[in-house]
Chains A and B, each alone.
Chain A
Amino acid sequence: EAQVTQNPRYLITVTGKKLTVTCSQNMNHEYMSWYRQDPGLGLRQIYYSMNVEVTDKGDVPEGYKVSRKEKRNFPLILESPSPNQTSLYFCASSLIRVDTGELFFGEGSRLTVL
């Protein structure tokens, strides 16, 4: 089954404790992206990747890092989480680019930083 898989789905952590949210897709997509969703706001892009070893900042990259060492994986790293990073996070992928192809979303990861 074609899918985007995120882990963990739920996580409660404390300020400053490094964490990684994994994202994997099995559709051989080139484009991958991370979004966060907060009440009253639309999905806001954190980072995106057009292909292996190519990553770029989105609209809200502060406090996050990403890597794209393999085509299928695009982990989101919070080196020193803070309470303002409490949010619902979505990983998404697209075949090549977002101007021609739809995004396929993972199921979301709800993160709480105390």
Chain B
Amino acid sequence: ILNVEQSPQSLHVQEGDSTNFTCSFPSSNFYALHWYRWETAKSPEALFVMTLNGDEKKKGRISATLNTKEGYSYLYIKGSQPEDSATYLCASSGSARQLTFGSGTQLTVLP
């Protein structure tokens, strides 16, 4: 079982602040790193799938970077809005078959 860790577990930011979270994963036998956004009472939705060391992906105000050699990924949110409030999950795969999730970072954006 892969050990995927996310930090912080939760955080509160003011509207307009920029923030970032960390996902750490085993760097050996790496296949892919996923980020998902999970709003309360909904199902998780994919943000990014990243496979290459040095990958950077962006979707609107949200971006992510990947370092496979040291085993970490950062998710950045620029100018947080209340609608960004959600739990952000990362998941790592050490094969084509399985994805192991971290326990998530719960973000609350205060108006």
Residues of A within 8 A of B (CB): 33, 35, 40-45, 48, 50, 56, 58-59, 90, 97-108
Enumerate 27 A-B pairs (CB-CB under 8 Å) in ascending A order. A35-B101, A41-B103, A42-B101, A43-B44, A43-B89, A45-B99, A48-B97, A48-B98, A56-B97, A59-B100, A98-B96, A98-B97, A98-B99, A99-B32, A100-B32, A100-B49, A102-B34, A102-B46, A102-B49, A103-B36, A103-B44, A103-B46, A103-B99, A104-B46, A105-B43, A105-B44, A106-B43
Known: A100-B51, A106-B43. A42 touches B98 (CB 8 A): no
**When chains A and B are docked, how far (Å) is the Cα of A108 from the Cα of B42?**
8
**Cβ contacts under 8 Å, B99 to chain A:** 33, 45, 98, 103
Q: How many residues of B contact A (CB 8 A)?
A: 26
CB–CB B89/A99 < 8 A? no
